[in-house]
Amino acid sequence: MTDLNLSRRGVIAGAGALAAAATFDLPGLGPAHAQGAPVNQAPGFYRYKIGDITLTAINDGFARRPLEGFVRNAELADVKKAMEQAFLPADALNISFTTLAIQQGGKLTLIDTGNGDSGAPTSGAWAANFKAAGFDPKDVSAVVFSHFHGDHINGFRLKDGTAMFPNAEVMVPAAEWAFWMDDAKMGAAPEAMKGAFGNVRRVFAPIAKDVKQFEAGKEIVPGITSVAAYGHTPGHTTFTVASGGKSLMVMSDTTNHPALFVRNPDWSAVFDMDGPQAAATRRKLLDMVAADKMQVAFYHAPFPATGHIAKSGNGFEMVPVQWSTAI
């Protein structure tokens, strides 16, 4: 008869033995893997539906960010505790990037474009994952931007000036365009922000006359409506996707990693240009999607970066969708 009285020490020892065996015996995983070398995962895309609209999450890898100084209005000890509660490392956070490709009525619309070839060594996988999902850049009919931080716009134009989506209409929030394309604001910006202003112009200046600006509250393409979510940037925008009685809120950068900023909506990440306004916007939108039981998609949540929001004490919890092989 099998002995079920396993001690904790025995379990740990057994796990160690299995790990050692896996290191040397599994096909395709040699010494480099044993030493912690990177291993390519399967292509990073995931499809799901909202009514008749098909959404494909396209992953662009991640960037590692030290925790110290990451949350501007919280003590580091409290941030580390939140990380521990989420079973995340206590020294740094892997911030992931996930864009959306939206198919409806024979049209392909992108919301944001990832880092392109300007990101960290662990990002820049977007183009390969986009292709693996069966898409071609020339088939994109519209590119919609939530805001102008580099990890959202650099995939539109590579460092050598190549425009990635030759047939796409480009659509941007009017408030975001007004801020970043204002010469006076660029001149008055702190030195640390000059590069961000310059990057926006690098991406958009060659097509400035053709860019379509939209106001908040407008349906910008069928089924997709813009929602003002200011604070993270002056024109930061989220989007509702609605079809067949179903709806989803594309939260953009309303939060960074949900383990920190969904659970603690009053915290402000270092990237929030107006921390108090960003926190007020965050709480308002999280309250709304929780009350309405809307599905959500986040740019910086763990892939595939979609789920629901539930109230939890003075904050919220993200409840991921169940992964499915069917859509």
Percentage of residues in the chain having pLDDT higher than 70: 88
Residue given tokens 């590069």 in the structure block: 195
**CB within 8 Å of 218: residues ≥ 6 apart:** 225, 226
103-126 tens-digit pLDDT: 999 999 999 999 999 878 899 999
User: Cα 66–100–322 angle (5° rounding)?
Assistant: 80
Contact indicator for 98, 305 with CB cutoff of 8 Å: yes
Write down the pLDDT at residue 105.
Answer: 92
Contact indicator for 197, 180 with CB cutoff of 8 Å: yes
62-76 tens-digit pLDDT: 999 999 999 999 999
pLDDT higher than threshold 70 for residue 15: no
Q: pLDDT-derived band of residue 37, with 50, 70 and 90 as boundaries?
A: very low
Tell me the whole-structure pTM to 2 decimals. 0.90
Write down the pLDDT at residue 7.
Answer: 52
**Distance between CA atoms of 255 and 229, rounded to whole angstroms?**
11
Q: Which residue has the higher pLDDT, 39 or 71?
A: 71
Nearest C-alpha neighbor of 56 from the set 123, 127, 134? 134
153-182 tens-digit pLDDT: 999 999 999 999 999 999 999 999 999 999
Which domains, and CATH codes, for the chain?
1-39 (no CATH), 43-320 (3.60.15.10)
Give residue 90's identity as a one-letter amino acid code: A
Q: Which of 18-32, 89-103, 223-237, 291-305 has the lowest mean pLDDT?
A: 18-32
